[in-house]
């Protein structure tokens, strides 16, 4: 078997007629540009408006920046592949794409966990909130979110890079760790065990989110002011979490159990949903539901009321 560094993967998911690929290119380009636009708009709005310099909005900026990174790990290669004569990617390019994609996934999930914790403190412990969530702690949580995600990804990539490969065809439009592991001709127990550890880790984060929302729902039922905060900040967060989790679940199920009889366009959509939908929808959900951002973007007036 050839050295892995010399491997060139064939992305079979882009095998379609030139006319169809040109249509996909136009749609993908508009989707990518709009994704960048809505995320940057929300980030710039929060940065420029001092009344929005609250922990929840800072975490939201991190979520939007992560969405830009996730989309940028997918769209540029897709756009190039849609117009290229051959749909291939080098081994180094494939690992790089996997690295960025999985950093995005892990950081998205961890960011949503941190935001749930922040909402728990803001609504359930409003008097202690400024002391429990100072600027230093916000910065530390952001740093830990990225460092934890990078560490998870580096370990997974290292395990995958050690595997000798016997095949070169990936039946998707981008590289994923699972697709590369399936091409190995050696024992993949180490990668499988690490996959279960990652699943356990993020299942624990899901548990923390559920516990936070149990307390949040109870607190919102007791006071009208808590219900207002819950609707303004927790509902968008919950919608974001559900969209991301469902998108990731569809991809995981399809990549392992998807049938070859599915239309190629539908296969591509199911495979890439978690990279396309959340970065596009998240800033729209928050921009519409958070009254401060909505007033800044659509109301034309200054915001004078802080809602944490």
- The domain segmentation of the chain, as residue ranges, is 4-299
State the average pLDDT over residues 64-88.
Answer: 86
pLDDT in tens, 203-213: 888 888 888 88
Annotate 179-229 with DSSP letters as a single string: HHHTTBSS--HHHHHHHHHHHHHHHHHHHHHHHHHHHHHHHHHH-HHHHHH
- Listed residue (75, 68, 85, 88) closest to 27, CA to CA: 75
Please state the φ and ψ torsions of residue 88, each to the nearest 5 degrees: -130, 165
Q: State the helix-helix crossing angle for 135-161 and 55-72, rounded to 10 degrees.
A: 20
Instruction: Determine the 3-state secondary structure of 172 from DSSP.
Output: coil
**Region of poorest pLDDT, from 60-69, 115-124, 253-262, 265-274:** 253-262
Grade residue 9 by pLDDT with cuts at 50, 70 and 90: low
Task: Tell me: pLDDT of 253 over 80.
Answer: no
Give the distance from CA 126 to its chain's centroid.
29
Q: Is 137 a residue whose pLDDT tops 90?
A: yes
pLDDT per residue as tens digits for the range 144-169: 999 999 999 999 999 998 888 887 87
Predicted pLDDT at 99: 93
Read off the pLDDT of each residue in 256-282 and give the average, rounded to a whole number.
69
How far, in Å, CA of 259 to CA of 274, rounded? 19
CATH for 4-299 (3.30.300.130, 2.30.40.10, 2.60.120.650, 1.20.1070.10):
1.20.1070.10
pTM of the shown model: 0.84
Give the pLDDT score at 217: 82
Backbone region of residue 301 per phi and psi (left: phi > 0; alpha: psi in -120 to 50; beta: other values)? beta
């Amino acid at each position: 078997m050839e050295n892995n560094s010399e491997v060139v993967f064939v992305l079979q998911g882009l095998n379609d007629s030139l006319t169809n690929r040109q249509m996909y290119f136009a749609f993908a380009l508009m989707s990518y540009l709009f994704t960048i636009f809505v995320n940057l708009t929300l980030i710039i709005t929060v940065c420029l408006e001092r009344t929005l310099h609250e922990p929840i909005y800072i975490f939201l900026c991190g979520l939007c920046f992560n969405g830009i990174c996730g989309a940028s790990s997918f769209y540029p290669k897709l756009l190039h592949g849609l117009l290229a004569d051959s749909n291939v990617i080098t081994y180094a390019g494939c690992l790089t794409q996997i690295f960025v994609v999985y950093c995005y996934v892990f950081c998205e999930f961890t960011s949503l966990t941190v935001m749930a914790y922040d909402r728990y403190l803001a609504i359930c412990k409003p008097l202690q909130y400024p002391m429990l969530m100072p600027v230093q702690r916000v910065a530390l949580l952001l740093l830990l979110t990225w460092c934890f995600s990078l560490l998870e990804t580096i370990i997974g990539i290292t395990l995958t890079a050690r595997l000798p490969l016997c095949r070169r065809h990936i039946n998707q439009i981008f590289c994923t760790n699972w697709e590369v592991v399936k091409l190995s001709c050696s024992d993949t127990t180490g990668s499988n065990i690490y996959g279960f550890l990652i699943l356990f880790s993020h299942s624990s984060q899901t548990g923390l989110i559920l516990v936070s929302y149990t307390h949040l729902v109870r607190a919102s039922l007791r006071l009208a002011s808590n219900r207002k905060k819950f609707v303004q900040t927790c509902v968008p967060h919950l919608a974001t979490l559900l969209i991301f989790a469902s998108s990731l679940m569809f991809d995981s199920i399809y990549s392992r159990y998807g049938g070859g009889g599915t239309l190629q366009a539908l296969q591509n959509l199911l495979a890439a949903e978690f990279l396309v939908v959340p970065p596009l929808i998240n800033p729209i959900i928050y921009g519409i539901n958070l009254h401060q951002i909505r007033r800044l973007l659509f109301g034309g007036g200054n915001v004078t009321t802080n809602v944490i």
